[in-house]
């Protein structure tokens, strides 16, 4: 059964976005079309995309949705990667339940077909776009890190007839593999262009190479055997911080250019209180006069140097976009137009964005007496 590639009689409208699509930080109401159980602790959620919002919710493979819901009277916002390919004409995300996770528990245990959530249009820098030459990509994923990989892999295989994708996917055991059946369907559909290697930490597959966790040693073992750093056009990494750091370091040691390594974190190892212990910024002894620009409107307020810009702006009544508050997504991204700011952590913005003055407001302290930031740039 080829769920993803069985041809339907009716043509599906592509949701592929232009790489220069403008940023829209508004929330829109969208209805849940399906909640599908993928594993014991993970579901995928498909949404109905109204005709008038098709262009608004167009996306590039690898991007994510920021969802908003009121659960037991509390407003929750979380970002989840899109697992469908634009060509499928469907907007679908996967949500793995985590211990103590309010939104993920709600999605796995309560959310159902017909419910309405609010969603921000797709965004994110972790994305793939077709180039002039054939793409030969390698994906490194752990747990729910498979979500954006599915979108990227399916798009490469469907749109680039000479493209290939090699996936290394780490999990505890075979029962915890999200999209296990879909990956098998993909392999059967693209026998010569897709390789999938499961790395399991708590299940013996009969080989030391596929046992344990994905790390630098695994990269060295798989290099030349399953991929060639000299011909691979891009490595895509999605998982915990330790995996990403180890794999990135080893790939660079093997000669992979930094520009060919793309990564996205689903969470960090830092505790929620860790950032509060960081050394305060230079202006911590006084106040900064701040102006936040959103949708052409300005909000003015004062903040202390050891406050975070996002928190101060929300306290001042500015309805600015945010989701994770942990430097992982870039929903709260803004550009410094005047003054200076310093980020405590950054796992979402690329070097070019930082050089251009972009910051994650959830991680930013004001380091000047006057600070002007814009969400409209």
Residue 23: predicted pLDDT: 64
How far, in Å, CA of 175 to CA of 230, rounded? 35
pLDDT tens, the chain, 377 aa long = 333 333 343 446 677 776 544 567 899 999 999 999 999 999 999 999 999 999 999 999 999 999 999 999 999 999 999 999 999 999 999 999 999 999 999 999 999 999 999 999 999 999 998 876 788 999 999 999 999 999 999 999 999 889 999 999 999 999 999 999 999 999 999 999 999 999 999 999 988 889 999 999 999 999 989 999 889 999 999 999 999 999 999 999 999 999 999 999 876 544 333 344 344 444 445 789 999 999 888 999 999 988 999 999 999 999 889 988 888 888 899 999 999 999 999 988 888 999 999 999 999 999 999 999 999 98
Q: Answer yes or no: pTM beyond 0.75.
A: yes
Q: What is the DSSP code (8-state) at residue 142?
A: E
Distance CA 221, CA 240 (A): 20
- Tell me the C-alpha distance between 34 and 246, whole Å: 37
Q: How many CA atoms lie within 13 A of 68 on its CB side?
A: 14
Which domains, ranges and CATH numbers included, belong to the chain? 28-123 (2.40.30.10), 136-265 (3.40.50.80), 274-374 (3.10.20.30)
Pair 348, 327: CB distance under 8 Å: yes
Per-residue pLDDT at 327: 87
Cα torsion 235, 240, 243, 248 to 10°: value is: 40
Give pLDDT, residue 254: 95
Give the sign of the dihedral formed by CA 11, CA 29, CA 36, CA 55: positive
Q: Are 180 and 192 in contact (CB under 8 A)?
A: no
Of 194, 175, 144, the closest CA to residue 5 belongs to 194
Contact 333, 357 (CB under 8 A): no
Strand, helix or coil at 239? strand
pLDDT at 20: 47
Q: Is 350 exposed, middle or buried (0-12, 13-18, 19+ CB in 10 A)?
A: middle
Rounded CA-CA distance 40/62 in Å is: 24
How far apart are the C-alpha atoms of 251 and 291, rounded to whole Å?
42
């Amino acid at each position: 059964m080829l769920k993803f590639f069985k041809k339907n009689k009716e043509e599906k409208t592509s949701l592929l976005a232009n790489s220069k699509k403008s940023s829209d930080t508004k929330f829109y109401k969208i209805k849940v079309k399906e909640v599908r159980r993928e594993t014991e602790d993970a579901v995928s959620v498909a949404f109905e995309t109204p005709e008038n919002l098709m262009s608004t919710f167009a996306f590039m493979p690898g991007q994510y949705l920021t969802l908003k819901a009121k659960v037991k009277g509390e407003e929750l916002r979380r970002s989840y990667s899109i697992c469908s390919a634009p060509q499928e004409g469907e907007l679908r995300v996967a949500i793995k339940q985590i211990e103590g996770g309010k939104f993920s528990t709600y999605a796995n245990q309560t959310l159902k077909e017909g419910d309405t959530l609010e969603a921000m249009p797709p965004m994110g820098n972790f994305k793939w776009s077709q180039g002039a030459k054939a793409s030969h990509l390698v994906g490194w994923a752990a747990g729910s890190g498979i979500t954006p990989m599915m979108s990227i892999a399916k798009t490469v295989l469907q749109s680039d007839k000479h493209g290939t994708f090699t996936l290394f996917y780490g999990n505890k055991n075979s029962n915890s593999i999200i999209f296990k059946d879909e990956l098998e369907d993909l392999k059967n559909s693209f026998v010569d262009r897709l390789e999938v290697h499961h790395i399991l930490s708590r299940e013996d597959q009969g080989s030391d190479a596929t046992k344990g966790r994905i790390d630098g040693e695994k990269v060295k073992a798989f290099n030349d055997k399953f991929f060639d750093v000299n011909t691979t056009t891009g490595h895509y990494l999605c998982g915990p911080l330790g995996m990403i750091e180890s794999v990135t370091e080893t790939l660079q040691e093997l000669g992979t250019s930094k520009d060919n390594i793309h990564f996205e974190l689903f969470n960090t190892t830092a505790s929620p209180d860790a950032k509060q212990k960081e050394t305060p910024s230079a202006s911590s002894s006084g106040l900064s006069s701040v102006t936040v620009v959103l949708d052409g409107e300005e909000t003015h307020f004062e903040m202390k140097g050891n406050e975070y810009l996002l928190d101060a702006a929300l306290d001042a009544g500015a309805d600015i976009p945010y989701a994770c508050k942990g430097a992982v997504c870039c929903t709260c991204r803004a550009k410094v137009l005047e003054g200076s700011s310093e980020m405590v952590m950054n796992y979402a913005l690329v070097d070019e964005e930082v050089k251009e003055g972009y910051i994650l407001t959830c991680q930013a302290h004001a380091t000047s007496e006057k600070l002007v930031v814009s969400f409209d740039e």
